[in-house]
Structures are given as C-alpha cells and as structure tokens.
Amino acid sequence: MKGKKTSVLIIEDEWEYSDSLRDILEERGFSVSESTTGEEGLKKVKASEFDVALIDIKLPDMAGTQTLEKIRQFSPETIPIMMTAYASIDSAIDALERGAFAYLYKPVNIEELLIYIEKAREKKEILSSNKIQAEILNNINLPVFATSTEGRITFFNKRAAELFSGEGKEILGTDIKNLIVTGETEEFSAESLRNSNNHHKVRLNCFRGDKIESYLNISFVEAAGKHSPGIIWTFIPVNTIQ
C-alpha cells in the first residue's frame, strides 16, 4: 500500500479470533487496533480516526448494532462492517438498515473481507472528498453549480441557493439553462461549451425576479472511479470585476 495505511478497528470479544484477524490484516499492510467490548471500541473511535470498523454482532456489554449506531454518531466517516457467527436474515437486514456497509459470517473469508475493506476505504475517500469539496464551494461567495453533462443540477452552494431559489431544494435535478435568460441558452450544449474558451457573458434569472449580468466559467470534470463526468458552473457577477 502507498501512503497512509488503511486503519481498521476490530471490536470482537473472542480475543483469539480477533488476534488472528489482526495478524492477517497487519501482514497485508493494514494498521489494526483491537477492542473486546463495545464501550472500549467507542473510546478508541473517539480518541482516534479509523477508516473501517469490524464489529461483532454479539458483544458482552452491548449489541453490535448499538455499537454500530454509536460509531456512526461519533465518527460518521468510519465505515462499519458487521461480523457474526449467528447469521439470520433478520439480523442482516437490521444491521444494513442501521448503516452497516457489509454483513459477514464468521469465520470470515479473508479474501472477501479484504475486498470489502478496500471498497469501504474507497467509499470513505469519496465521502471525505465530497465533504471537503462541498465545504470549499460553500465558502466561495459566488454562485457555483455542479451538473451532469446534460446540464441537470446535482449540487449548488450556499450563494447559489440565496440568489436562485431561497432554500434551493426545488432546483435539484432541473436544467441549469432554466436559470439563464431565454435567448442566451441555445449555444449551451456540452459539446459547444467544451469547444469554446469556457467564458460567456449571460444574464441570470434570480428567484426574486432580478436579472444578474454575469460572466460564466465552465469546468469539465472527467469520470474517475465511481464519479460520473460532469460540469462545474461558476457565475461571476459583472459588478464584482473591476
């Protein structure tokens, strides 16, 4: 593994089984910590950041699903995977509904476990990346939108919500061209935008009926991993440019 090791917390009261898992995972390059009770596991989650938590469904002090819920409360970016030697459809459904990423039967198949840990790590990276990007965009005092390549709105920042729809919920999934004054939208196909210099002067329809003359900057985002391709639209009001 390159860079920071993937960190795994094992919450398992059968210490011999926990130790065997730890040895296998450490041999594969993971950073591993162990707890034998739910409460001990929660203390470790509060003290340190873990990428993945492997949680036994039956713990001596609390149910594994209760531990799962508390971990999600204290460390929402830690991805929980449940383990059990007492499998049932009801318990699996219950764990998954409470937010478990996977539900594995003990003794777990190591190759299957490694696949799930890798998928969980990828999910955590995506969640962290999305959180950081959203935080950055929300602190930009310009209206910014993300859309699909067809122009359907998938994200907007706080400034965009203020200008275009108040709370903004009703514009999700709509065509961004609806925000641009009629007569100026014909050229805004993904292909024409890609072939242009990515700068356009447009007028925008705000939700209060105001019209804002703005420069439009377009950035194309290529597909990567589980991320779909899309377009970032940044509107820069003309009166902000000296």
Tell me the HSE value of 8 on the side-chain side, using a 13 A CA sphere. 28
Is it the case that residue 26 has pLDDT exceeding 90? yes
Do domains 7-136 and 140-240 share one topology? The answer is: no
The answer to whether 176 and 199 are in contact (CB under 8 A) is no
Between strands 52-56 and 199-205, the pairing is unpaired
How is domain 140-240 classified at the CATH fold level?
A: Beta-Lactamase (3.30.450)
The answer, yes or no, to whether residue 225 has pLDDT greater than 60, is no
Summarised one tens digit per residue, pLDDT across range 126-159 is 666 666 566 666 667 788 888 888 888 888 888 8
**Per CATH, is 7-136 categorized as 3.40.50.2300?**
yes
What pLDDT band is residue 22 in, cutting at 50, 70 and 90? very high
Task: Report domain extents, the chain.
Answer: 7-136, 140-240
pTM: 0.56
Strand partners, 180: 204
Nearest one of 214, 184, 186 to 199, comparing CA atoms: 214
Using the structure block, give the residue that is written with the tokens 């210490």: 15
Evaluate if residue 31 carries a pLDDT over 90: yes
* Coil/strand/helix, residue 198: coil
Q: What is the pLDDT of residue 241?
A: 41
- Cα separation of 180 and 28, whole Å? 53
pLDDT number for residue 13: 94
- Over residues 152-192, the pLDDT tens digits come to 888 888 888 877 755 455 677 888 887 777 554 445 555 55
Confidence tier at 67 by pLDDT (50, 70, 90): very high
- What are 81-126's pLDDT values in tens digits? 999 887 677 888 888 888 888 899 898 999 999 999 988 888 777 6
Name the percent of the chain lying above pLDDT 70. 73
- Which tokens belong to 135? 């935080």
